[in-house]
Structure 1
Amino acid sequence: MVSKKKRQKKSQLPFRLNILFLIVFLLFSALVLQLGVVQILNGEAFQAEIDRTTNDYSETPVPRGKMFDRNGELIVGNDAGYSITYTPEKGIQAGERLDVAERLAEYVDMDSEEHLDGITERNRQEYWYLNNTDEAENLLSDQEKEDMDNGEQYNEILDRIDEDKIDDYSKQELEVMAIKKEMDKAMTLTPQVIKNEDVTPEEFARVSAHLGELPGVNATTDWNREYPYDETFRDFAGSITSESQGIPADQEDYYLTRGYSRNDRVGNSGLEEQYEGVLRGRKEKIQYTTDKNGAIVDSDIVVEGQRGKDLVLTVDMELQKKVDEVIHDEMQSAIQNQPHENRNLENAMAVVMDPTTGEILAASGQRYDHEKGEFTKTGTSTIYNANAPGSSVKGATMLAGYQSGVIEFGQQFYDTPIKIKDTPEKSSWKNLQWVNDLEALEQSSNVYMFYIAMRMAGEYNYEPNKSINIDYAAFDEIRNYFGQFGLGVSTGVDFPYESTGYKGSNPDAGNLLDLAIGQYDTYTTLQLAQYVSTIANDGYRVRPHFMKEIRNPVPHEEGLGPVYKSHNTEVMNRIQMSDSEIDRVQEGFHRVFQAPEGTASSHFGDKPYDAAGKTGTAEYDVYEDGQLKASTENLAHIGYAPYDDPEVAYALIVPHVGKGDNSEINHEIGKGILDAYFELENEDEGEED
């Protein structure tokens, strides 16, 4: 028989197990409930986190637009070449880049001076650090590290690397450094050019065959500018930055806000810079999808790339070449005929334009290096360099005299030297005696212009060897009149920079007289071309320009696409003078070239194109350290043709020719320019017939 005590123990054991089972059941129930909550309520969010990807974008450059002359001849094109680029993924580390650089160095050469000379001491230190990390870390004690953040530790370690550790690198190691240096410039998912201009077909093939072991590296095609006419018009066309330069640092904000990347090539001079927004094109935009580790899992082109629009310029390259040749040949002839001890002639400049539209047909400059015996094309000097042009401005002076009321048609003055008390005597090239306004232009009377200037300054009672009282406001008045023609002010040309010349700052009577004959203020060749065009164009001053049309690109590489934009003639102002006054000066200019007494008639009187214009000689002294070094001259020439219906105008300056030397070079260049223009016109008409 079982005792009561034993029966109680048996009944208590199942009860305790039941409690334990209940607790276990409740715990499992809670766990299942929690799993249900995770799966049902938050499962989608957690799965999204697991599958999380990020969309990033990369833009690939496209070929720049081309430049053509007015006849469709290619001036600036694109030469396709090979390019090796690197596009880093997110989170790429310096050591990983070094591994890629070492492998890439097996397939490309980076041994040019540009690459190897660009390796700095810092590049060498970083290279040593990455290859000797443990040793490098020991250059700092644990105590020193406690007081520095990671960046400070890194910089301090580099500074402590001894020179003897980084001096004895092999050429192969230096090439690795050069590659890594370029790779370090790359931003995430943005292609960085590692090597471009001199990639050989063999290098391109080797890299292409090993892209699988070169993460981020690509072998692709790039474009460099080509110039079918070599140096002709090259300085006007301008240049673009190299891959290593990218956008200019001082204009970074400007370009970045307009969608550029830091390593984009941009125009940095000439028409490349002026029309950067037109020539740049639309970059190809690629969307990259990356996982949470930064690995690219997909890509898609979201914006198709399109090469830049093309520029059709106003320039006629055949005329441009002929003008270059004329200047070169006439300078060479003049230099050879110059006495050796007085060879001052160094450069000459000319601009040819359509006076009714402002289209620049040719712009040429030549500089001669006496030491090297070499000529260099310096066309942009026609816009950048200002010189005193002498009597070529007398048309503007005469019109200022008419407009201000100090002279009238047929007004005569006696041409004999002017002598103001305590000043040097001033005269014309010879004593012309009585001359009227037309004769003053025809024979280039300085004295006539002196009387205009004195009268505009309030002095009507000049007497030899006596002081004169002038109103100094006449300086501003004459300059304001000159400015209406484009002299001393911006021409408005579509070019990144132009000089407006120098305005003299000493307002004495003698300088006022010199201002009236073009021997005080200075002007550019382009300003003179705009001035003579204004007279030829019946007083309408038009804006000179290089851009004739902008054309949309065509899918293939040859030919011109449809017109996107045309440059319409822009009248900047109409001078204040009346039609009859302008006609009077036009007649005076015609007599300069055609009348027997005209200063240029012996060169142009027998020409079939019936030209008009004005010659100019500016005399001045050159001082050095307060001592007279030399007396020299600038020779100028302006003209247009035909006289009755002008279709071409030109201006030229030959500065610093020496005293009395080369007195014919300006006539010869001017004649050569018009001869070349009308020869080409006749050829074109013959082809049409």
Structure 2
Amino acid sequence: MNLSLVIVIVCALVALVLLVVFLVYGRSEVNFTIDIGGASPRAQGGSDSSVEKTLSARLTGLAVSVGAVFAALLAKLWSMQLVSTDEYSQQAESNRTGTVYTQAPRGRILDRNGAEIVTNRPSLTVVAGSEILDDEVEMQLLGNLIGMPCQAVRRKAQDTSEGYQSLRTISVDVSRRVVAFVGEHAQSFPGVVIQQRTQRSYPHGSLAAHVVGYTGTVTSDQLAASADAEEGAITYRSGDVVGQSGVELEYESVLAGVRGEQTVHVDANGNVLDYATSIEPQAGSDLVLTLDLGVQTAAEESLARVMEQVRQEGYDATGGCVVAIDCTNGEVIALASAPTFSPSVFTGGISGADWDSLSAEDAHYPLMNRAIAGQYPSGSVIKPLTSFAALGNGIANAGSSWYCTGTWTWSGSADDSTVMKCWWTSGHGSIDLPNGITFSCDVVFYEIGKGFYYSDNPEGMQETFRAYGLGSATGIDLPGEAAGRVPDAAWKWDYFKALGYADEDCTWKGGDNCNIAIGQGDMLVTCLQMACSYCGIANAGPVWQPHVMRGVRSRLGEGFVSEYRTTTTRTVDEDQEWRDLVAQGMYGVVYEEDSAQASHWTNLSVTVRGKTGTAEQPTGDPIGWFVGYAPADDPKYVVGANMDRVLQGASSAMYVVRDVFGAIYGEPDTSSESTSNAD
């Protein structure tokens, strides 16, 4: 029945009721009262109490009341018919329709040459309609078949996150035995359907796991953020599978695609009667990375092999990382972190046991991307930057020289109670700045730290470190990057004062300068930061922003619909004479510091400049470092690596960097000599 007609009928009935009430109860025979207080009767209530007058007043009141009721009803009718028409129409429509959602396949992740790193595979999935909840026997049989408790089947069947009318996902990646059994006993499973869906697939296992990341069911925080997102941004529904780390998270908008929607007509009980409009799911776009799978494979295999060798020598070697960058444009050719993990454990939901094993402290945090989030003292790999600081602030020059006896005191007197040692305890003798870099003489850099303490610019080292990017994030397009730390007097005061230390212990001292000059003390850097700072050295100034995204592939052909726009993040100006002095020292590290070390580089056709480093840690064995660039005369690649809890950088991280350069140039390391006489 038309809504307007219903309202008119209601109004008429209300008016009729009011009239009846008036006729039955409204007319009274008592029009006046008698006051028994005098000699004669006297009318009360006014001078005119006639029946006609009273009736006329009541009819007027009734008309006003009925008119007010009709006016209110007509106003409401006008509001419902004209103002709120769309709202009520939508409500009515929603009561007779529902929506079934279908997740779209995610886009693939490819290396720079088009090789698949992450793709999709078909997945046989058991789904069921809501009617299965009314059949305990069917749920029990289904649970027994797929190896799931009946209560778990019930919870899955109650999940309406994919839409109230949608089939509920019970189990993914079921075996063909399950499929065959359901097909052969269809009468026992009337509410069960087998669907072929897609799941994330990793053709190379855990390769590049920390770069590509993993997917998982959308979290409550992601749902809340989605609800507040701007118009046109991705919106999520409970149950959606989304990127949770790495590229999967960083480029979620590219990879996610558009979910499919099927509008259905339903009855009052929610049963589907008919199908209406539909939108087919649209797969996400393919993302092409800057990684080279060949180089990435070499990096990860080298990390694992060298760590095992170091363990056999009696050191823990609990973790390590390596990053290779094209210093001419910031493209990351390889980025590896160990220990690693397999993203496939997150497919279809990670088990509690798997999560506990990945989160356990004795597993050494395999989910952490050490290359961008691991913060370590830099050790001697910072000495080229310290040298630039000294040359730029007049603390040292081309003619400067020092004398190393293996020990050093602030005053130069043997009676000084504060003694600091060079890593080469027998001493380097008379030594200039380039050789100070080559042989990593700590005494040279203690003197530089002392020189800054008494100079007109006592924080000149910190300024240079920051100019090369230390102490701030590089801006790589991966989530979770750490900023590191370049300590200074203000930082020390605030940090230690907050911990309750005395004023004397919070004050910056000369020893603090000496420590940061050799990459110790409170210095913290990431492997990526050090690699980027060496890009500035290699490029004689410009540092390009590192990135792993190369472009979004077109759906037609091999071209890109969108490419990463490379930008420089900083340019560091240095006098060419100073650059030559530092380059001379870094050449010596590779080819002159130790003959065994040099043997691993002389079998490579390009010339490499680099620096070893060994940084002490208060919690255990040192961090071993090596960072280098090649070709020396026209730099193209910078490779940096570190390894946790080893003897030194020259016998750990240096081998990994050599293997990565070997993969880049197709010239593997053929030397078997062991390096022992280097920092």
Amino acid at match of 2:255: L
> What aligned pairs does 1:560-639 form with structure 2 within 5 A after superposition?
562-595=559-592, 600-605=597-602, 607-622=604-619, 632-639=621-628
Distance 1:533 1:212, change over 3 A: farther
Task: Report if aligned partners of 2:125, 2:170 keep a CA contact under 8 Å in 1.
Answer: yes
Q: Distance in 2 between matches of 1:634 and 1:383?
A: 16
Q: Is the 8 A contact 1:395 1:585 kept in 2?
A: yes
2:134 alignment partner AA? D
Render the CA deviation track for 1:579-630: whole Å, top value 9, x for unaligned: 55334423332232234779954542453211111111223554xxxxxxx6
Unpaired segments of 5 or more residues in structure 2? 1-80, 82-87, 341-356, 411-415, 493-505, 670-679
2:516 match? 515
2:207 pairs with 1:232: yes
Instruction: Determine which of 666, 670, 679 is the counterpart of 2:653.
Output: 666
Please name the residue that 2:533 is paired with: 531
Distance 1:211 1:405, change over 3 A: farther
The match for 1:547 is: 549
Q: Supply the AA of the counterpart residue of 2:482.
A: S
* Cα distance between partner residues in 2 of 1:323 and 1:182: 42
Shift of residue 400 of structure 1?
1.6
Once residues 588 and 351 of structure 1 are traced to their aligned partners in structure 2, the CA distance between those partners, rounded to angstroms, is: 23
| Partner Cα distance (1:621, 1:611) in 2 | 32
Residue 438, structure 1, aligned to residue 434, structure 2: yes
Change (3 A) 1:98 1:334: closer
Deviation larger for 498-507 or 251-260: 498-507
Q: Check 1:87–1:261 CA distance in 2 against 1; reply closer, same or farther (3 A cut).
A: farther
2:643 corresponds to: 654
Partner of 2:156: 182
Q: 1:278 to 1:523 in 2, by over 3 A?
A: same
TM-score (norm 2): 0.70
| Contact 1:383–1:526 (8 Å) recurs in 2 | yes
Matched, 1:326 2:316: no
Q: Are the structure 2 counterparts of residues 237 and 178 from structure 1 closer, same or farther at C-alpha, using a change threshold of 3 Å?
A: same
Letter in 2 for 1:678: Y
Is 1:358 aligned to 2:330, yes or no?
yes
Structure 1's 284 and 508: CA in aligned 2 closer, same or farther, altered over 3 A?
Answer: same
Give the corresponding residue for 1:267: 243
Deviates more, 1:422-431 or 1:307-316: 422-431
Q: 2:166 aligns with which of 191, 201, 204?
A: 191
Instruction: Give the secondary structure class of the aligned counterpart of 1:604.
Output: coil
**CA gap 1:247/1:478 in 2 versus in 1, 3 angstroms:** same
What is the rounded CA distance, in whole Å, between the counterparts of 1:72 and 1:214 in structure 2?
Answer: 44
Correspondences of 1:401-420 after superposition (within 5 Å): 401-416=390-405, 417-420=407-410
Q: Shift of residue 652 of structure 1?
A: 1.1
CA shift for structure 1 position 394: 0.8
In 2: Cα distance, 1:597 partner to 1:213 partner: 76
Report what 2:451 is aligned to: 455
1:486 aligned residue: 469
> Structure 1 residues 413 and 445 mapped into 2: Cα distance closer, same or farther (>3 Å)?
same
Deviations 1:430-468 (A, max 9, x none): 533333332222222222222322222225xxxxxxxxx
More displaced 10-residue stretch of structure 1: 374-383 or 505-514: 374-383
Distance 1:562 1:102 in 2: 55
Gaps of 5+ in 1: 1-43, 89-95, 117-174, 460-470, 555-559, 623-629, 683-689
- What is the rounded CA distance, in whole Å, between the counterparts of 1:545 and 1:86 in structure 2? 44
Rounded Cα–Cα distance in structure 2 between residues aligned with 1:193 and 1:540: 55
Q: CA deviation at 1:391?
A: 0.9
Q: After the TM superposition, which residues 23-38 of structure 1 pair with which residues of structure 2 at under 5 Å, given as runs?
A: none
Distance 2:476 2:553 in 1: 20
Give the Å deviation of 1:385.
1.6
Cα offset for 1:72?
1.3
Specify the code of the residue in structure 2 equivalent to 1:356. Answer: T
For 1:548 and 1:326, the matched residues in 2 are separated by 25
Aligned partner of residue 133 in structure 2, secondary structure? helix
The answer to whether the Cα contact below 8 Å between 2:325 and 2:639 also exists between their aligned partners in 1 is yes
| Displacement of 1:644 | 1.1
Identity of aligned residues (%): 25
2-structure distance, mates of 1:474, 1:200:
69
Mapped partners of 1:288, 1:579: distance in 2: 73
Partner of residue 463, structure 1: none
TM-aligned CA distance change 1:299 to 1:111, over 3 Å:
closer
| Alpha-carbon distance between aligned partners in 2 of 1:669 and 1:567, rounded to the nearest angstrom | 29
Pick the aligned partner of 2:220 from 249, 258, 278. Answer: 249
Question: In the aligned structure 2, how far is the partner of 1:203 from the partner of 1:265?
Answer: 24
Compared CA separation, residues 315 and 587, structure 1 to 2 (3 A): same
Q: CA separation of 1:427/1:103 partners in 2, compared to 1, >3 Å: closer, same or farther?
A: closer
Provide the residue aligned with 2:284 in structure 1: 308
Residues in 2 aligned to 1:662 and 1:397: alpha-carbon distance in whole angstroms: 19
Structure 1 SS opposite 2:445: helix
1:425 aligns with 2:425: no
> Separation in 2 of the partners of 1:300 and 1:561?
37
C-alpha distance in structure 2 between counterparts of 1:326 and 1:286, whole Å: 50
Query: Which residue of the other structure, out of 348, 372, 378, is the alignment partner of 1:383?
Result: 372
* Partners of 1:442 and 1:613 in 2: CA distance: 9
- Please give the alpha-carbon distance, in whole angstroms, between the structure 2 residues aligned to 1:287 and 1:400: 68
Pair 1:394–1:205, CA change in 2 (3 A): same
1:519-573 CA distance string (max 9 Å, x none): 221222112211212211222111111111111446xxxxx75412111322111
Q: CA deviation at 1:680?
A: 6.7
Q: Distance in 1 between matches of 2:617 and 2:178?
A: 61
| Contact 2:613–2:649 (8 Å) recurs in 1 | no
Q: Distance in 2 between matches of 1:87 and 1:581?
A: 74
* Structure 1 residues 408 and 526: alpha-carbon distance in aligned structure 2, compared to 1, 3 A threshold: same
Aligned mates of 2:513, 2:167 — CA distance in 1: 60
In 1, the alpha carbon distance for the partners of 2:181 and 2:139 equals 10
The 5-angstrom pairing of residues 25-424 of structure 1 reads 53-54=93-94, 55-86=97-128, 98-99=133-134, 102-103=137-138, 105-106=140-141, 109=144, 112=147, 115-116=148-149, 175=150, 177-187=151-161, 188-189=163-164, 191=166, 193-204=168-179, 218-241=193-216, 246-256=217-227, 257=229, 258-290=234-266, 294-338=270-314, 343-367=315-339, 380-416=369-405, 417-420=407-410, 421-424=416-419
Q: What is the DSSP-based 3-state SS (H/G/I as helix, E as strand, rest coil) of the residue aligned with 1:673?
A: helix
TM-score (norm 1): 0.69
1:300 to partner: Cα distance: 3.6
Partner AA of 2:550 in structure 1: K
Q: Helix, strand or coil: the match of 1:529?
A: helix
CA contact (8 A) 2:377 2:519 kept: yes
User: What number of residue pairs does the alignment pair up?
Assistant: 530
Amino acid in structure 1 at the alignment position of 2:403: Y
CA distance in structure 2 between the aligned counterparts of 1:662 and 1:446, rounded to whole angstroms: 15
Shift of 1:76: 0.8
Distance 1:216 1:561 in 2: 44
CA RMSD of aligned residues (A): 3.7
SS at match of 1:364: strand
In structure 2, the residue corresponding to 1:325 is in which secondary structure? helix
Q: Against the structure 1 CA distance between its residues 329 and 311, is the aligned structure 2 distance closer, same or farther, given a 3 Å change threshold?
A: same
The answer (yes or no) to whether the contact 1:615–1:636 under 8 Å persists in 2 is yes
Asked if the contact 1:110–1:179 (Cα under 8 Å) also holds between the matched residues in 2, the reply is no
Flag the 1:211–1:272 CA change in 2: closer, same or farther, 3 A: farther
Shift of 1:491: 1.5
